[in-house]
Structure formats: C-alpha cells, structure tokens
Structure 1
C-alpha cells in the first residue's frame, strides 16, 4: 500500500498500464468502467493529511459503487448522501448513522419518508435541510434529530456554470436568514448541529480567491449562529476540489488550499467538515471503448466507438475535456507509433453532441482499436442513462493486483423489464417475436 508521501497528486492517463487494461476489455467487453481502489485510498489519505483536524465525508454522488463506499468507510471517511438511495448504499457499505449526512435538495416525499424511518434505527444520522419548507416537512413526519442547515453564501465557483452552486437560488437558505431559521428550529426541538454550503464542483487553483471568500463568509456565519443557538458541532464547507483533466494542467496544491481554508475560517469552536467527491475518484477510473467505425469526413477523421453520451455524459453536458489514449496503437505490429491525425471520437447516439473530442490529434484509429478515456472515475457511470434503449456498461475494480467484476453489464431485457412488469399478466400470451427475442440472451449479455 503506497504511503501518501509517495503518491503522486494526479494520475495521468499515460500512467495506466496498457498491458493490464487490454485483457479487461477482452474478458468483460466494452464499454467498460475500470476503477483502481488503491488510487481511491491514496487520494483520500492525501485529503486526510492536508486537513488533519477536519472530518472528511466522501460525496457519494461522484461514484456510488459499493466497492468505493466500503473502501472509503474502511479507510475512515464518512459519507455525504444526496438521496435516500445513497443513504441506503452508505448503510449497506457498513457506515453507521453517525458517519452519514443526508443533504436534501428539494427532497421528494418518498425520500423524506424513508429517511425518517431510517433515523429511528440510526438516531445519529444528520439531515441537512436547504429550506424552511423542508424543515417543516421533517417536523410533520416527527423528525426532531440532528439538523444541519444548508445556506446560500451568495458566491459560487466551479469548472462550469451548471455546477456553481454557491450562489444558485436552488441551493440553501440565504445566509442572511440563517440565524433566524436555526433559532426557530432549535425552539421547535430540533438538535441543531451545523451549517453547510458548497461553492461548486471542480474548483481550480485559479478560483482560489473565490473559494477563500466563500470560506470566510462561512466562518463569520458560523460564529453568529453559534452565538444564537448555543454552539455548533460542525461547519461544513462542502468539497469542490478540482482535478486536472487536461494533460498540461497542474494539480491543485491541496496543502495550500487547506492552509488558506483554516486562515479564512478563523477561530471556531466547531469541527470543520469537507465533502470531496471528484478529487477522491476522478483519476482512479478509466472508461474503455472499442472503435467500430472509421470515416474520413471533410475536415476530420471520425472514429466511431461503442461508448456514447449514455455512457459518459460529461463531454456532452459540460463540454468537458477527457484525455483519450489508443491502447492498441501503443503496441501496433508496425513497431512504431501510428501517424497522429485530427480525429473526432464519436459515440453511437443519434445526437450531434455525442462526441468525446473534436479534431483532436490522436494516433490514426482503425476498426477494432481499444481506446481509454481518462479521469472517468467521477460522474461517469453515475450519470449513465438508457437513452436509445441502450444498456448501461459493466464495471470492474482493481485492488492491489486483484481484478473483480463490480457491476454486470445491463442487457436489453434489463432495460425493458420495468415496462414488461407493468403490463397485465394476460399480455404475456400476446408477446411479439421481438419480445421473445429480447427475453433471451443477446449481444449485450456478457
């Protein structure tokens, strides 16, 4: 197990062992997510070392794979959950209620019902509410346990405007109203334990000043709230620590960020809590995909692959950059690197946005080549969909030399099953030839 001092601050796609990845595609098929659990541990230990006095809660939404959650729980991390389903995953991974925060954003009724029922068995569970309406809905269900208030500090940052949460009206109670809201909650019998805010996702070194201002506002607010309600257990400043997706980007200076955070918060009689997600898992994962079509277009060569925006949504949704490496060209029988040409790597979805890169210089692709897409450990499978009736991919994990399947590949029958099960039983006698075909194994069954 690598010591944090020996662990590089970022794992580049070029550093993955092609000889280890290629057989995985042969055994499990593509598209395939591959996640290295030892890298997950290294990233967590780096955070723990930079913030030795803070509680580190992993943001489950970044990658909710059970192997990831159990690995981080065993390493000492708590788990921050954005839905009742994620809380179920956290409990299944072995985390006690005392190490789980449920951060509700406009929670559906079913979520709140489940959470309040779970609270009966896990009274140390913390619920974070982002509105007075949510607090009322909790009270209506008989909840008066540990309550944290999500506040809106009025300042945001992140890698894209869609993930800058700190100033978005959707998130949290305006900071200037927080004291009154929490005093009222305490008067109603809630156990007020903390305040929470999240500036955004993928914060880079260039946005350090914005992050520092955000943290300073949280420190000032925490002192005001503590004075009004008689103290706080913690101040949660969220996560958002960015990772370098581009090959020429430098990694975040985590120690410097930690020092600036402590300085900006000032004196607090409360524990600082951070909620990293992307930082822990992004560079621990790659997506393997196979080239199935090569086409020379007017200004570029199009390499069509079997992964698409249904597999990895970030490029289409955020115009996000992911490094791409041709693992087959690395060992081409020609004995030398193939000519590099401008290529557009595109998926099979009937959308013009279904591309992983446009006119990027890559070794010229050939049908059957295996490509690796880097930094796919965060918000990859979690955002995968079944659009175009496409089954979601499989996942495998690497763990200290061991390789094991972590999630089987869906089949078309899996995609159709909820629809079938909603039909009256009498319709079973009226199956079409297509229905019968998709009841059995098909090309997606591996």
Structure 2
C-alpha cells in the first residue's frame, strides 16, 4: 500500500519520524515517500509487462519536479494536460518522446511548445484542434503525431460525476460514432499524423470492467478503419486506476492487467497507459496541527491549520481521506485505515479547516482518538490531487513539500510566505494600449 506506518505509537515515513519533519520544517506540510513511488511504478510496470507499454505518469496528480525526475529516472513517460506541465517535464529531464499531451483548450503557444519540445503525441479533442495543430506544425516545418480522443460512452458508476470523462456528452474528445469520419477527414494529414486513439473514461475506476468495454469498442473501431485502409498503430487506454483511500479498497494492478492484457497482447498495437493517483495517491500525506478544540451544539470540532485551500478534495468531491494523529497511545495504532474505525475510547469528531467556508470540512463525524490543541494529525492518501490543487484562498500561503528516501528527508518545495503570496502584485505596470 505505502511506506507510512506506526512504530512505537509514532507515525513514520519510511525510516523517518513524521513529527521530526514537522518539527524541522513546520506544518502544514506534504510528506512523500520515494519508496512508495518506486514500488508502485515497478508493480504497475510488472503487471502490464506482456504489453511492453509506454507508461506515462499523470503529472496533474502530483507534479513536483523532484517526483517527476524520480519517475523519469525509472524510465517513466509523462502524461501532460498543459504547457506548464510540458515545461515541468522538460525541467525534470523527462524523455519528451514519451510525453503525451491532452486537454480540450490547448493554446497556440502550448501547441508550439509541444511540437518544438518533441513530445510523442497530442491527444486530440476536436476537429478544429486537429486543424490547428496541423497548421502550427506546418508553419514550424515540423510533423506532429496525434491520438484522437474517443469517448466510448463507458463509465464506472462508482466514479464521481465531476471526474467521469468517458460519457458521450462530456467536453472531452469525440463520440465514437464521429470518430470514423474524423479519421476519413484527417487521417492523411501530412503535418498532424493521426495514427493513434486515446481513451480516458474517468478517475478513479474501481474495477477493470469499464476498461474492457471501452477497449473492445476501440478495437472494433480500429478494425473498421483498417478495412478502409486507415491504420491505427497506437492505443492509449488512459488512466483512472484507483488508489487505496481505505485499506484494500482498490483492485490490485494485476487485477486490472489480467482483464486488459489479453485483449491487447496480440494486436500489434503500441499501448500507452496513463496512471496517476494509483502511483502517487498513497505516496503522500498532509500533516497539520490542531489549533483549537471546540463544542458546537452536539458536535466536537477539531480545527486544523490546514483545510480546503491545501486539500480541496473533501470539499469538492465529498472525498474520504483517512485522518489520524501522528502520535497515539499503543491501543490506537491502526492496523487498517477504514472510514469507520472500531476501537474503545474513540471520540466522534468533526475535523475542519480555518477557511471561511462551511464546506471547509476534512472529516465529518469521524471516530478518532481524543485530540488536544497542539496535536498533529495526518491526512493519508494525499499524494494525488493535493498540493497540485492547493490555492492561496483567504491569502493563505501554500505548505512545504518534503520527499523522504530511506532515512533522509529533503525539502522539495519551500513553504510560501505572505511576501510570496503578494509578490506578483507589488509592481503595478501600465498597460501599453498603443
């Protein structure tokens, strides 16, 4: 699952005490385990080895340069969704030929960056975008490669509506009925070579069945195109593989692979996979400190120095994150992380943040060990869609990030200061309207 564990009633990240890190750099702080990133990538790679796939880590899930570099050094490609993420991949010395670039609103500047940096594929979302990529590539004297993003109208009912992307009526890609005509129209373009198909049906997907249904539709489409003389060489089946927000909740990588690999093994297609949270989710925690304990009616509140400005998933998606103190009595050491913990002496607690929004609630009516002012708590499975979605709402600085590797800990992003928050506002400049 990950390298976060309790020993002698204290939470460790690999071989380092979480509290020692917080003592040294302050809180709130994101703490990541390098071992967990490596182990997850290796396990994922092994499960799908029979396909010899290109694995492109989804930078949007957790995009610190040190983490991108760590995975790139393992041979991992990158899945990007903006010019900024392409730039991050460049700065981390990623292999740009193993970079894919998705997103419905690619600007001309972002497309130019993708072409000149030599990315492998643009995941193309519309007819107009395809024409624009071709035009820009021609103007640069370059050739771009495109994968048409196809919506197979498949989704997992357990996936939150806000993260379901494979339905016909989403803003992403083109529906499968239009895809054949798309290839007929653009399949012979000389400057945007359209020889791949991209699927992405949402995140997280808690079973392999939606992938199986989507891949079968894609293979049928590829066969129909081949009958017309149009060759598709690459199939990118996207990401969305789940992470363990609760112990044992998500399928193993092998469970996904056992269903997916037989469909693709003998097709001759180059396969691309885009794992994100399944690699990064359990690799990080967010550590914070209890500021106050208060009673509100029948509720006991624990008010932290972090909240929706640093981890927005509970407010935005009603997402569950396991929350537990970093130091506990031996009787409260958790053997598993579950939404409902059954231990004598737990207290029903509402864990909330400091932001002036009622939605700034981290854990509702959660049974927790008794908390006091000054206690530290960890929010687990915070490695994905945590820091990358953090903001300065309420003029709050963003936290530091620390990467632990064995018995060493390194600050990989400095904590912001109030000065950092206002830095870009301090030198107003007149707009040249000439």
TM-score bracket for this pair, using the shorter chain length: 0.7 to 0.9
> TM-score under structure 2 normalisation?
0.88
Distance, in Å, in 2 between the alignment partners of 1:75 and 1:310 is 32
Tell me the residue number matched to 1:259.
Answer: 258
How far apart in 2 are the matches of 1:64 and 1:40? 13
Do the aligned partners of 2:163 and 2:203 also contact (CA within 8 Å) in 1? yes
- Conserved 8 A contact 1:201-1:239: yes
1:187 maps to: 188
Q: Which residue of 2 aligns with 1:429?
A: none
User: Which aligned pairs between 1:107-256 and structure 2 lie closer than 5 A?
Assistant: 107-115=106-114, 119-122=115-118, 125-143=120-138, 144-157=143-156, 159-167=159-167, 168-189=169-190, 190-205=192-207, 208-228=208-228, 230-247=230-247, 249-256=248-255
Give the Cα–Cα distance (whole angstroms) in 1 for the partners of residues 395 and 54 of structure 2: 42
Per the TM alignment, residue 331 of structure 1 is displaced from its structure 2 partner at its CA by: 7.5
Q: What is the alpha-carbon distance in structure 2 between the residues aligned to residue 48 and residue 285 of structure 1?
A: 20
What RMSD over aligned residues (CA atoms) do the two structures have, in Å? 2.3
The aligned counterpart of 1:417 is 423
Partner residue of 1:363? 369
Cα deviation digits, residues 18-43 of structure 1 (max 9, x gap): 76100111111111000011110100
Query: What's the counterpart of residue 46 of structure 1?
Result: 43
Count of residues in correspondence between the two structures: 406
CA distance in 2, matches of 1:228, 1:351: 57
Following the alignment from structure 2 to structure 1, what is the Cα–Cα distance between the partners of residues 304 and 203?
28
Could you tell me how far apart the structure 2 residues matched to 1:110 and 1:192 are? Answer: 21
Structure 1 residue runs without a partner (length 5+) = 1-8, 426-446
SS of 1:359's equivalent in the other structure is: strand
Q: Is the counterpart of residue 37 in structure 1 residue 43 in structure 2?
A: no
- In the alignment, is the contact (CA less than 8 A) between 1:100 and 1:126 conserved in 2? yes
Structure 1 distance, partners of 2:226, 2:81, is 25
Over residues 335-384 of structure 1, what are the superposed CA-to-partner deviations in whole Å (9 max), with x where a residue is unaligned? xx994210011000011110111111101110000101100000000110
Q: In structure 2, list runs of 5 or more residues that go unmatched.
A: 332-342
Report the CA distance between 1:114 and its aligned residue.
3.0
Greater fraction helix: 1
Corresponding residue to 2:17 among 6, 13, 20 = 20
The answer to whether the 8 A contact 2:2-2:283 is kept is no
Q: Which residue of 2 aligns with 1:402?
A: 408
| Residues 137, 144 of structure 2: 8 Å contact kept | no
TM-fit CA distance, 1:327 = 1.5
Distance in 1 between the 2:107 and 2:210 partners?
32
State the alpha-carbon separation in 2 of the partners of residues 227 and 40 from structure 1: 42
SS of the equivalent of 2:409 reads strand
Task: Report the TM-score, using the length of structure 1 for normalisation.
Answer: 0.86
What is the deviation of 1:328? 3.2
Any conservation in 1 of the 2:183–2:230 contact (CA below 8 Å)?
no
Alpha carbons of structure 1 residues 269 and 344: separation in structure 2 relative to 1, 3 Å: same
Is contact 1:13-1:325 (8 Å) kept? no
Deviation, 1:186, is 2.8
Measure the CA separation in 2 of the matches of 1:260 and 1:211: 9
Which has the larger displacement, 217-226 or 365-374? Answer: 217-226
- In 2, Cα distance between equivalents of 1:130 and 1:229: 23
1:186–1:229 CA contact under 8 A, matched in 2: no
CA distance in 2, matches of 1:343, 1:350: 19
